[in-house]
Amino acid sequence: MAAEIRGAFPHAEIKFIESSGGVFEVEVDGKRVFSKKALRRHAAAGEIVRLIKESAAR
């Protein structure tokens, strides 16, 4: 997934922070766009890139 995100946004400043307990959250400019904990599921293929693009378009 990291490669997919970096490939879609090669010039963006991306920070990956390791965690425990299966936590996976994605934030764009401080706003959460995906939370595995809240949704109780893994992200689908391409979902994170789509959510980042949608967030950036706002």
- Please indicate whether residue 6 or residue 18 has the higher confidence score (pLDDT): 6
Closest by CA to 49, choosing from 23, 24, 28, is 28
How much is the pTM?
0.85
Specify whether the CB–CB gap between 9 and 2 falls below 8 A. Answer: no
State the average pLDDT for the chain: 93
Rg over CA atoms, the chain: 11
CA-CA distance, 1 to 7, in Å (whole number)?
10
Domain count, the chain: 1
Domain that holds residue 23: 2-57
Q: What would the mean pLDDT of 9-36 be, rounded to a whole number?
A: 92
- 8 Å CB contact between 34 and 51: yes
Residue 46 has pLDDT above 90, yes or no: yes
Tokens of 33: 């766009």
Contact call for residues 26 and 34 (beta carbons, < 8 A): yes
Per-residue confidence at 21, pLDDT binned at 50, 70, 90?
A: confident
* Span 28-54, average pLDDT: 95
